[in-house]
């Protein structure tokens, strides 16, 4: 799943100034979760801890099993050379 939109350099600056770092991070985590859920067809479940004291944003495990993987999601929004916005 790829979400891309055309912007010019001025629009990129205004776009990023409009979001707080927390909003960018939350959007990245949500997009990550959606992509994992869709690409694994529900066989991999993601869980979000209530606190972030140990820098774990998401834990993952196979459907019906105990989560076995802890992950920290980082979000960076940039324009590529064609002026398209990518979320990594």
> Residue 52: pLDDT above 80?
no
* Helix boundaries (H) for 40-78: none
Residue 28 binned pLDDT confidence (cut-offs 50, 70, 90): confident
- Tell me what the pLDDT averaged over the chain comes to: 79
Tell me which H or E stretch contains 12: helix 9-17
Residue 72 structure tokens: 């920290």
Nearest Cα neighbor of 24 from 64, 70, 73 is 73
3-class state of residue 34 by DSSP: helix
Residue 67 structure tokens: 């989560």
Between 36 and 6, name the one with better pLDDT. 36
CA–CA gap between residue 39 and residue 29 (Å, rounded): 15
State pLDDT tens for residues 59-85. 999 999 988 999 988 877 766 677 665
> Residue 1: pLDDT above 50?
no
């Amino acid at each position: 799943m790829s979400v891309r939109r055309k912007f010019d350099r001025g629009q990129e600056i205004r776009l990023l100034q409009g979001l707080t770092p927390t909003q960018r991070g939350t959007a990245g985590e949500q997009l990550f979760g959606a992509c994992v859920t869709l690409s694994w067809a529900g066989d991999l479940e993601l869980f979000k801890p209530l606190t972030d004291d140990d820098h774990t944003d998401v834990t993952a495990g196979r459907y019906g099993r105990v989560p076995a993987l802890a992950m920290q999601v980082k979000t960076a929004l940039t324009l590529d050379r064609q002026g398209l916005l990518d979320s990594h």
